[in-house]
């Protein structure tokens, strides 16, 4: 496994739409492994492939609620409620803001074995699912900030 370089805000790759994964190849499996290692090293909750310069619809997330999730071609299929809470991003270091996200989110995706899975999360997991899937569509959390926190007011 390898630690990958996390792209920062301003890098054009973060503004592009990622392509779906057509086939789960050894290269995709290596990408998943490397993304997990990179996320752990950076002390993050989630990481999307564009954040490491790969325009593929691949996301990893790890919370206490969910354990490790490896999601290929994730799609939000249902949302419920609303939450306002602090959010940050490994690609926007040092910037934190309050965002408005759904309280509950259901996502369909493929796992690393190509099996369709459904994940439902609340609170932090719901926020992380929305945040990482936004990356796949070229969006940063800063587009959802209603109030910046700390020195970023």
Q: What percent of the chain has pLDDT over 70?
A: 98
Is 143 an annotated catalytic residue?
Answer: no
* Sequence ranges of the domains in the chain: 12-152
Global confidence as pTM: 0.96
pLDDT digit string (tens) for 6-53? 999 999 999 999 999 999 999 999 999 999 999 999 999 999 999 999
CATH homologous superfamily for the domain 12-152? Peptide deformylase (3.90.45.10)
Give the model's pLDDT for residue 153.
Answer: 47
| Spatial separation of the C-alpha atoms in residues 121 and 102, rounded to whole Å | 10
Active-site hit among 64, 70, 132, 143: 132
The secondary structure element, H or E, covering residue 31 is helix 26-41
d(CA 153, CA 138): 24
Please give the average per-residue pLDDT across 66-88, as a whole number.
97
């Amino acid at each position: 496994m390898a630690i990958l370089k996390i792209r920062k805000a301003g890098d054009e790759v973060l503004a592009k739409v990622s392509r779906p994964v057509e086939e789960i190849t050894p290269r995709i499996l290596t990408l998943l492994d490397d993304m997990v290692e990179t996320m752990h090293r950076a002390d993050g909750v989630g990481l999307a492939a564009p954040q490491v310069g790969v325009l593929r619809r691949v996301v990893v997330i790890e919370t206490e609620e969910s354990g490790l999730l490896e999601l290929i071609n994730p799609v939000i299929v249902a949302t419920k409620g609303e939450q306002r809470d602090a959010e940050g991003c490994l690609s926007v270091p040092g910037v934190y803001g309050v965002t408005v996200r759904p309280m509950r989110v259901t996502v369909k995706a493929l796992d690393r074995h190509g099996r369709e899975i459904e994940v439902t999360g609340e609170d932090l997991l719901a926020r992380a699912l929305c945040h990482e899937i936004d990356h796949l569509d070229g969006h940063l959390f800063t587009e959802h900030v209603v109030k910046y926190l700390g020195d970023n007011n």
